[in-house]
Structure 1
């Protein structure tokens, strides 16, 4: 019986998404009641650190960033860049590895040349083998973008 109720609610909810924009007030109210929980995504907060201890100008910046759960890390990076010029970045897409961060930070040392790059680490020391568009942060993660020479 629960399965049938769930299916009926799901069907009505999907129909409501299509009709909520102009039907009678009662139908609109019903749609809002049914879809209220669906449209509100849970937010999570991570700590995001960028650091360059490799070449001048050296820097290290850390901040908390809040965004919707289930979003890739690059969305958190975008939020941080919107809030703080120190977190601005540039990237390029490579079909074999995904998004590569080429520049990061207000002073923007360039990476991704093969000699240097930006490395994504889950603090304290877990190097993440996937790109910033594939890693899905969890609430409380501390993610670090380090300017490095790969392999050192």
Structure 2
């Protein structure tokens, strides 16, 4: 029995938890959503898009069978008030990243057709201007994942 690859995987991170997707030069890291009570009409999805290419790209939109509509939103500060604002697209800079996280950019899911239950997953299709469409699986988590911050 060769255990080396599994040991390596265990050292690099739990394969059951870490999940990422690639399309073209883009790499989508750990899509997740917060579990919500069944009465919640709307939800949100978060992830990080890493661009390994030399050209920038843009996220144009998202869709999921789980919700009636999915929109790109960001948070803007108007004085002391933080408001959510719909955006038409989010840029992913060359050799950079676009972070979708609480109190920042996120994908809003309006008109949820089923509750967001912790431990379950749902498909989310992301559409990029250049890279095209990629379907990711969004993990529904009871609380925000402990992000490893690379500074």
What TM bracket, shorter-length normalisation?
under 0.3
Higher relative contact order (CA 8 A, sep 6+): 2
Structure number with greater Rg is 1
TM-score by length of 1: 0.24
TM-score by length of 2: 0.24
Q: Which structure carries more helix by proportion?
A: 1
Q: Which structure carries more strand by proportion?
A: 2
